[in-house]
Structure 1
Amino acid sequence: MPGSGKSTVGVLLAKRLGLGFIDTDLLIQQEAGRTLQDIVDVDGYQALRGIEEQVLLKLDVHRQVISTGGSAVYSERAMHHLKSAGIVVFLDIPLHTVLERIGDYSARGISRRPDQSLEELFSERFELYSRFADVVINCVGRNQEEVCDVVAAAMAKVR
């Protein structure tokens, strides 16, 4: 979910475990040569999803903590690629927390249909995240360090 802390917790986790860190939103922007919002504004949300899928499928996922863009879950191929050599973690936060953290989401480059509310997007993605996740972390009432602790402990059990 946007605002779930994927990037921040991902960096903390990578440092703790001695792994690399990849933020795919940055890779998408680098590949496209423009911001996520510009891609959505000019080419549409489907174009952003297509670029994201291409970026994810090219990744070497071994020994990496990867913070994906929120729409990664729309690509079954990309999710299977991520799961092929790693553990997919869903940082679960409630909708009201998403709204608090991201504020005005109109400039965040969120891949959603033009007629789709953030609430509808949340519901749609929640279902997909839950389906693909190897581990679901309830982040309510936890700061980033605590979420990192819980993720690290959960990963140790799954391995």
Structure 2
Amino acid sequence: MNHQNIILIGMAATGKSTLGRRLAKRLDWAFVDTDLLMEAWWGAPLQTISDYLGLEAFVQAEAQQIQRMHLRHCVIATGGSVVYSEAAMAHLQGQGHIVYIESSFESISRRLTNPTSRGLAIGPGQTLKDLYDERAPLYARFAQLTVNTDGATPSQTCSAITRELSRTT
């Protein structure tokens, strides 16, 4: 597989980080989690950063961080709000193949036991369902490949991603 990078986008609790680590190991590539980069840069948990900055400034900070990245042979798990920034997504599109890790709302809400500690960039009065309904079309719009994780193991999902991406080269 000769892609520059594989970039995973999707909602929180879809398994982007788990899949990213597995894919990177399988491909012998590096793994980068942009949520962890944000935490390292700011020196605080993601939720604290989000609460401190507010939604708009958080999205802007995340976009700036993404635009500083120039990587090769990496699997990159992005924060769920990255799709709010056209500039960040344009940068990522130039960095590799964007894969939407899709899960049903029911699966996400089951996995996301405590959304308030997860670092979700969520607007005032917005529910998790509102967020899902708002973001799903954005993920689909930017993705070159969509892989649904409902009912699949991480190993099966990784195999589907590598199989589908190998067809595009």
**TM-score with structure 2 length normalisation?**
0.91
Q: Distance in 1 between the 2:117 and 2:86 partners?
A: 27
Q: Distance in 2 between the 1:158 and 1:3 partners?
A: 27
> Within the alignment, does 1:18 sit opposite 2:28 as a pair?
yes
Deviates further, 93-102 or 46-55: 46-55
Structure showing the higher helix proportion among its residues:
1
What's the counterpart of residue 43 of structure 2? 33
Q: CA RMSD in A?
A: 1.0
State, as a whole percentage, how many aligned pairs show the same letter: 37
> Within the alignment, does 1:8 sit opposite 2:18 as a pair?
yes
Q: CA deviation at 1:47?
A: 2.1
**TM-score with structure 1 length normalisation?**
0.96
Q: Distance in 1 between the 2:92 and 2:51 partners?
A: 28
Map 1:7-156 onto structure 2 (within 5 A): 7-156=17-166
What's the counterpart of residue 158 of structure 1? 168
Question: Matched residue of 1:34: which SS?
Answer: coil
Q: Distance in 1 between the 2:90 and 2:101 partners?
A: 18
Question: Matched residue of 2:37: which SS?
Answer: helix
Deviations 1:52-106 (A, max 9, x none): 1011001113211000000011111111111113100001100011011111201
Instruction: Give the aligned residue type for 1:96.
Output: E
**Number of corresponding residues:** 159
Gaps of 5+ in 2: 1-10
Q: Distance in 1 between the 2:118 and 2:60 partners?
A: 17
Gaps of 5+ in 1: none
Q: Distance in 2 between the 1:34 and 1:132 partners?
A: 29
Any conservation in 2 of the 1:29–1:36 contact (CA below 8 Å)? yes
Q: Distance in 2 between the 1:101 and 1:27 partners?
A: 23
Q: CA deviation at 1:34?
A: 1.2
